[in-house]
């Protein structure tokens, strides 16, 4: 019987012979494999009433594993005077152009320097509270190393309205991406479900296991032979969706060291992906608004190299 602040997992025969850290991450999908590895190192996991003495232990069918949860570390989010590239602002909504390298909201290991820290300084208390103190005003997000436009809700009514538009797939989100290889077609759709990668809990993958529908529309904008500039429009908004879908169809993003070739080419050390167009109905007036941001200098520099290479 597990104590307070802990939970019990009884191992299924399907996981027999699996290393305990991987087995736990598969049985309890809310936490990653690395999370359970840390708990094993700190003695917070018991197997059949005895402390687990090795991360290499392979579970047996019927093993009763007690996971003792450490006290959560409380994050405090402080306003920081970080410049924001603001495209639009009123009493309901804020549209900002996020630079590459900025995390959207704080987490352990990234407690400061985030977009939320900057927005708190700029807006003060004028942010929605729906996503709590760690993500005030955040309706959607983009990856740390993806640049571009995102919207922030300044009150709960605006947040609910924008979140509803996201759920109904009525928000326009168009990205620019440089991907590997040429396309035989000019446009296409990837309609494949995305969930946690069963082989690597830190990644996403096209999978039928505990996944959600994901739809990406793409069209070719410029061909360079070994690379292609595309526009990708999101119908859904899953984590790493464009990166995962493009890798799935054998066109990984240039510079994406997670889902593509792990080598730096043409000066691209992170994925060439920019959230260029954002459109939505204003939560108060119902008027459709659309914003467009230019490609970052680094993205343009890579394109210039490709054009020069193409023209010989």
Q: How confident is the model over 77-119, as pLDDT tens digits?
A: 889 999 999 999 999 999 999 999 999 988 767 778 999 999 9
User: Does any domain span residue 111?
Assistant: yes
- What total of structural domains would you count in the chain? 3
User: Does any domain span residue 245?
Assistant: yes
Last residue of a domain, one of 162, 186, 219: 162
Last residue of a domain, one of 68, 93, 111: 68
User: Does any domain span residue 1?
Assistant: no
What is the rounded average pLDDT for all residues in the chain?
91
Say yes or no: 265 and 174 in one domain: yes
Residue 243, burial from CB neighbour count under 10 angstroms (0-12, 13-18, 19+): buried
User: Does any domain span residue 105?
Assistant: yes
Strand partners, 273: 177
For strands 273-281 and 147-153, give the pairing: parallel
Identify the pLDDT of residue 27.
81
pLDDT-based confidence at residue 75 (cuts at 50, 70, 90): low
Last residue of a domain, one of 162, 180, 200: 162
Is this structure's pTM higher than 0.85? no
Identify the pLDDT of residue 183.
97
User: Does any domain span residue 247?
Assistant: yes
143 is catalytic: yes
Strand partners, 230: 177, 220
Identify the pLDDT of residue 142.
94
Say yes or no: 214 and 309 in one domain: yes
Say yes or no: 220 and 125 in one domain: no
**Structural contact between residues 236 and 221, judged by C-beta atoms closer than 8 angstroms:** no
User: Does any domain span residue 206?
Assistant: yes
Q: What is the pLDDT of residues 141-164, one digit of tens each?
A: 999 999 999 999 999 999 999 999
Residue 285, burial from CB neighbour count under 10 angstroms (0-12, 13-18, 19+): exposed
Say yes or no: 130 and 102 in one domain: yes
Say yes or no: 145 and 183 in one domain: no
Say yes or no: 240 and 181 in one domain: yes
CATH at residue 87: 3.30.2350.10
The active-site residue out of 92, 143, 145, 256 is 143
User: Does any domain span residue 19?
Assistant: yes
Strand ranges, E, within 165-309: 172-180, 187-191, 194-197, 200-206, 215-223, 227-234, 273-281, 288-292
Strand partners, 180: 227
Say yes or no: 190 and 150 in one domain: no
Question: For a pLDDT cut of 70, what percent of the chain falls above it?
Answer: 96
Say yes or no: 84 and 220 in one domain: no
Say yes or no: 181 and 301 in one domain: yes
Say yes or no: 58 and 147 in one domain: no
User: Does any domain span residue 153?
Assistant: yes
Say yes or no: 208 and 305 in one domain: yes
Q: Which helix (H) or strand (E) holds 89?
A: strand 86-89
Average pLDDT over residues 57-79: 81
Boundaries of domain holding 278: 169-312
Q: What is the pLDDT of residues 270-293, one digit of tens each?
A: 999 999 999 999 999 999 999 999
Q: What is the pLDDT of residues 40-49, one digit of tens each?
A: 888 889 999 8
Say yes or no: 63 and 85 in one domain: no
């Amino acid at each position: 019987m597990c104590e307070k602040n802990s939970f019990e997992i009884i191992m299924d025969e399907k996981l027999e012979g699996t290393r305990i850290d991987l087995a736990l991450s598969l049985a309890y999908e809310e936490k990653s494999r690395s999370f359970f590895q840390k708990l094993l190192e700190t003695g917070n996991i018991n197997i059949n009433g005895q402390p687990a003495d090795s991360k290499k232990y392979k579970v047996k069918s019927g093993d009763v594993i007690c996971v003792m949860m450490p006290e959560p570390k409380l994050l405090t989010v402080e306003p920081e005077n970080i410049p924001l590239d603001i495209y639009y602002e009123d009493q309901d909504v804020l549209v900002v152009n996020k630079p590459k390298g900025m995390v959207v909201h704080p987490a352990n290991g990234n407690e400061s320097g985030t977009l939320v820290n900057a927005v708190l300084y700029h807006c003060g208390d004028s942010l929605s509270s729906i996503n709590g103190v760690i993500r005030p005003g955040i309706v959607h997000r983009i990856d740390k190393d993806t640049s571009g436009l995102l919207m922030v809700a300044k009150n709960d009514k605006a947040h609910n309205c924008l979140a509803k538009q996201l759920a109904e797939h009525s928000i326009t989100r168009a990205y620019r991406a440089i991907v590997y290889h040429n396309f035989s077609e000019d446009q296409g759709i990837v309609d494949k479900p995305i969930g946690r990668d069963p082989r690597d809990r830190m990644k996403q993958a096209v999978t039928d296991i505990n996944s959600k529908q994901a739809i990406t529309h793409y069209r070719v904008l410029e061909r360079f032979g070994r690379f292609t500039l595309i526009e990708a429009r999101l119908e859904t908004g899953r984590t790493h969706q464009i990166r995962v879908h493009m890798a799935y169809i054998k066109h990984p993003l240039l510079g994406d060291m997670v889902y593509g070739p792990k080598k730096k080419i043409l000066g691209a050390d992170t994925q060439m992906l920019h959230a260029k167009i954002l459109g939505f109905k204003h939560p108060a007036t119902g008027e459709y608004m659309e914003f467009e941001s230019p490609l970052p200098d680094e993205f343009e520099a890579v394109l210039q190299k490709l054009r020069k290479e193409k023209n010989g």
